[in-house]
Structure 1
Amino acid sequence: MPLLLVTPFYAGVLGILFVVLSAWVVKTRVGSGITFGDPGDRSPALFRWVRTHGNFAEYVPFALLLMTYLELTRWSAFLLHVLGIVLVVGRLTHAVGLHRANDVNVFRQIGVALTFGVITVAAVLAIATSIGAWTTLSTLAAMG
Structure 2
Amino acid sequence: MSIPVTLEPRASRDTVPRGRRVAARVAVAVAFQLRRCRPQRLRRLMELAGRGARPATSAEALDAREAVVAVSVHCAGQGCLERSIATFLLCRLSGRVPEWRTGVRLEPFRAHAWVAVGGVPVGEHEEVATYAVTMAVR
Report the TM-score, using the length of structure 2 for normalisation. Answer: 0.27
Where is the strand percentage greater, Structure 1 or Structure 2? 2
The structure showing larger relative contact order (alpha-carbon pairs under 8 Å, at least 6 residues apart) is 2
TM-score after normalising by structure 1: 0.26
Q: Larger % of helix: which?
A: 1
